[in-house]
Amino acid sequence: MLKFNYYGHACFQLDDGKYKVLFDPFLTGNPAATIKPDKVEADYILITHAHGDHCGDAYEILERTGATAVGIPEVTDFGGANVKAVGMNLGGTLKLLFGFVRMVPALHSAGVGGGTPCGYVVSIGGKIIYFAGDTCLFSDMKLIGERDKIDYAILPIGDHFTMGIEDAAKAVEFLGAKNVIPVHYNTWDVIKQDPEEFKKLVKNAAVHIVKPGESLEM
């Protein structure tokens, strides 16, 4: 059984019962965080870009857990330090112990020179999960949904730094996702959103509103 454990903002863990895959660890200084960086578990850490609200605690968790980081090379370059990292790039598919990770585009800034932001399509626990990272709406989301049948789309809805609720609802349509989990909202006032309003806008998909600290069986 696959579990989505939400730690607040864009940080969550997918747990297939054997492997724990952590996404965008930002816990220190995250007002929505529900776990401390010295407690969170990970076998892999997938990072979408180098903004602090996505990779702030990555290095510390990598060092402590011995987990392997996955990301754009410029983003996972921790200065030759003693942590495991697999650099990959857009369009690439990486086979890992739990399934696969396909790196897909995101339209945003990278947070580091020479880098680019990304999203991920992940096969784990018999499900296909798409995590958009930070992005605006873009029409190639249709291609992402054609390539893999998406069971769960995890999308930012906070607006200001990413798409807001109207565009995220359109993204669900483009992706053809069966289920949606909104993230990257209500961490600060600037990305304040009502997820119930998002729910009303989404057609033909189930919207799961998961609060920080809560889990969802996928």
For binding to Mn ion (CB under 5 A), which residues are involved? 53, 134
Shortest reach from residue 162's CB to Mn ion, in Å = 7
Which residue's C-beta sits nearest to Ni ion? Answer: 51
Among 134, 152, 182, 207, binds Ni ion (CB under 5 A): 134
* Residue 167, contacted partner among Mn ion, Ni ion, none, CB below 5-8 A by kind: none
Task: Find the shortest distance in angstroms from Cβ 17 to Ni ion.
Answer: 31
Exposure of 13 by Cβ count < 10 A (0-12 exposed, 13-18 middle, 19+ buried)? buried
Nearer to Ni ion (CB atom), residue 26 or residue 152: 26
Output the CA angle 204-16-100, nearest 5 degrees: 75
Strand partners, 96: 99
State the minimum distance, in angstroms, from the CB of residue 54 to Ni ion. 6
Residue listed under structure tokens 């598919």: 93
Adjacency order of strands within the sheet including 99-105: 93-96, 99-105, 118-124, 127-131, 152-156, 179-183, 206-207
Rule CB under 5 A: which of 43-62 touch Ni ion?
A: 51
Residue with smaller CB distance to Ni ion, 108 or 127: 108
User: Which of these, 144, 42, 189, 218, lies nearest to 210 by C-alpha position?
Assistant: 218
Count Cα neighbours of 211 within 13 Å in the Cβ-side half-sphere: 1
What are the two backbone dihedrals, phi and then psi, of residue 89, each rounded to the nearest 5 degrees? -145, 175
Identity of the residue, 53 or 167, whose beta carbon is nearer to Mn ion in the bound complex = 53
9 binds Ni ion (CB under 5 A): no
> Candidates 67-75, 131-139, 164-172, 204-212 — which segment interacts with Ni ion by CB under 5 A?
131-139
Give min distance, CB of 51 to Ni ion, in A.
Answer: 4
Q: Which residues bind Ni ion (CB under 5 A)?
A: 51, 134
